[in-house]
Structures are given as C-alpha cells and as structure tokens.
C-alpha cells in the first residue's frame, strides 16, 4: 500500500485567512497539515523566483569557481517547498519507483522528494560508508578519481530509479550513479537537479533519459 501523500489538513478559518494573506508565519503556528497543502493553496510555484534564493560565492572552493550555494534556498520555507514541489511535478511523468540521492546534497533534495512522490529512497555514498554489500563505480575528478557506492539490494530488481542531486556540473557524478543503478539490475528513469551549469554540458555524459533541472546558469 502506498502511503498517503498528505496528512488531511484541518482548515480552521484562521489558517485559510493567513494563507490567503501570504503570511509566512503560518508555518510557525501549531499547524498539523503539510507543506504540499500550503503550496497548493497559495500557489507559490507560479510566482516564485527561485534563483533569487541561490547565493553565489565567487572563488569557492578555489579561484575561478562560482559556488552555487543552496543553503539560502533551504533556509526559506517557501523556496524549499517550491523547489521540492516543482521537482515532483516535473519528475512525476517519469513514473519512478525509487529515488537515488547522491551524497550529500542529493540527500537534502532527494529525501523530501521521495516523501512527496510516495517513493522509496536509497543513498548513493562515497566509498566505504555503506555497511552491507555494495556495487561501486569510479568517476573522474579534476585530479584523480573518486568512487561512489550503492547497496546491492537498494532497489527491487527491474525498478525505475530517478537520480537526484542539487547540481549538475560536468556530469561525472551523475553518470557514475547511473552506472550504479544499472548494476543493481534497474533502469534509470531520469535525473532531477535543482541547478544545471549549462556551459559544462554535463547532460552529454548521461544516458538518453529525461533530465529535469529547475535553474540553469
Ligand atoms: P559534476 O560531477 O561535475 O557534475 O559535479 C556535481 C557535484 O559537484 C554536485 O554534487 C555538486 O554539489 C558539486 N558542484 C560542482 N560544481 C559546483 C558549483 N559550482 N557549485 C556548487 N556545487 C557544485
């Protein structure tokens, strides 16, 4: 049985009035509904400029790199809700059975997305972190290589898996994750990213499946 998407929302008048008036402090009240219910009621998807919630940090972690910092988006309840709901909307047609979230910022977006879409979740971790039997895949870094791993029994064989990360740059990390999913006997249903760095053409490294990205730079 699939778990229900929303806890039924009790709708006392003061809740509806506050939502209609766009008062953010509704979220700090003793409110028993969930963010999906608020999003549907106040329609932030159609109006929000999500890019305004990404902080650009020049020359981090090294000179010449502009780091796209998502912590400012995470700190804003409306932006966070908007990002998760938008990814859910774009990825629903891919009909995944599971989400694979890439360590570590892929966990931040992948888990609430799995919850929102009523899917299971599996963490894709750096080498040596997962306790049970794993598959592993190497990928190129600027200098050298790194390794990602997945539990061999993370997914039911033959399932469709949506791969999620905060950002796609060169595409190496996401491509290695796609190989891991295939090693488990599953199919990559697609990819979901909050941010895509277009100039690096990361999507060229990925298999020919749909790719959703909310913000392009
Ligand atoms: P890549 O394998 O080159 O696509 O790199 C993707 C991973 O590196 C993601 O997990 C991102 O979190 C991180 N990353 C790469 N470039 C940036 C950037 N400019 N700003 C923030 N994170 C980045």
Distance from Cα 155 to the centre of ligand 1, integer Å: 25
- Domain span at residue 146? 94-216
pLDDT at residue number 47: 75
Q: Quote the ligand 1 centre to 168 CA distance (angstroms).
A: 6
Closest atom of ligand 1 relative to the 70 alpha carbon: 21
Beta carbon of 167 within 6 Å of any ligand 1 atom: yes
Is residue 76 included in any domain, yes or no? no
Ligand 1 centre to CA of 38 (Å) is 31
Neighbours of 52 (CB within 10 A): 11
Structure tokens at 53: 């919630």
Give me the average pLDDT of each 10-residue run along the chain (217 residues).
40 37 35 37 63 98 96 98 98 98 98 98 98 97 92 98 98 98 98 98 98 98
Q: Which of 132, 119, 209 is nearest to 171 (CA)?
A: 209
| pLDDT at residue number 202 | 98
Residue 159 lies in a domain: yes
For residue 65, the ligand 1 atom closest to its alpha carbon is: 19
Ligand 1 contact via 170 beta carbon (within 6 Å)? yes
What pLDDT score does 45 carry? 52
Q: What's the burial of 190, exposed, middle or buried (CB within 10 Å: 0-12/13-18/19+)?
A: buried
Q: What tokens appear for 13 in the block?
A: 């008048």
- The protein residue with its alpha carbon nearest to ligand 1, atom 19, reads 67
Q: Is 173 in the pocket of ligand 1 (CB under 6 A)?
A: yes
Tell me whether residue 42 is in a domain: no
Q: Is 99 part of a structural domain of the chain?
A: yes
- Measured from the Cα of 175, ligand 1's closest atom is 2
How far is the C-alpha of 118 from the C-alpha of 121, rounded, in Å? 10
Give me the torsion for CA of 15, 18, 23, 24, rounded to 10°. Answer: 0
CB 165 within 8 A of CB 174: yes
On whether residue 37 sits in a domain, the answer given is no
Query: Could you give the angle at which helices 35-42 and 77-91 cross, rounded to 10 degrees?
Result: 90
How many domains does one find in the chain?
Answer: 1
Q: Is residue 25 part of a domain?
A: no
For 204, residues 6+ apart whose C-beta sits below 8 A from its C-beta are 171
CATH number of the domain to which 207 belongs:
3.40.50.2020
What pLDDT is attached to residue 70? 98
Is 49 within a domain? no
Residues 6+ apart with CB under 8 A from 53: 72, 73, 76, 79
Whether 145 is covered by a domain: the verdict is yes
């Amino acid at each position: 049985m699939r778990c229900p998407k929303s806890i039924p929302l009790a709708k006392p008048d003061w809740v509806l009035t506050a939502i209609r008036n766009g008062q953010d402090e509704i979220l700090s009240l003793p409110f028993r509904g969930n963010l999906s219910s608020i999003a549907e009621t106040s329609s932030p998807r159609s109006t929000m400029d999500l890019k305004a919630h990404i902080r650009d940090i020049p020359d981090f972690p090294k000179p010449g790199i502009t780091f796209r910092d998502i912590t400012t988006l995470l700190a804003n309840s409306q932006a966070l809700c908007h990002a998760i709901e938008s990814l859910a909307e774009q990825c629903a047609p891919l009909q995944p059975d599971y989400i694979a979230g890439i360590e570590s910022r892929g966990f931040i977006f992948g888990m609430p997305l799995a919850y929102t879409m009523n899917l299971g979740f599996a963490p894709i971790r750096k080498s040596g972190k997962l306790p049970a039997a794993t598959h592993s895949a190497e990928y190129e870094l600027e200098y050298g290589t790194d390794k990602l791993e997945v539990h061999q029994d993370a997914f039911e064989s033959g399932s469709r898996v949506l791969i999620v990360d905060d950002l796609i740059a060169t595409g190496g990390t996401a491509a290695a994750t796609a190989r891991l999913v295939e090693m488990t006997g599953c199919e990559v249903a697609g990819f979901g990213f909050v941010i895509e760095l277009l100039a690096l053409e990361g999507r060229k490294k990925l298999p020919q499946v749909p790719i959703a990205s909310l913000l392009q730079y």
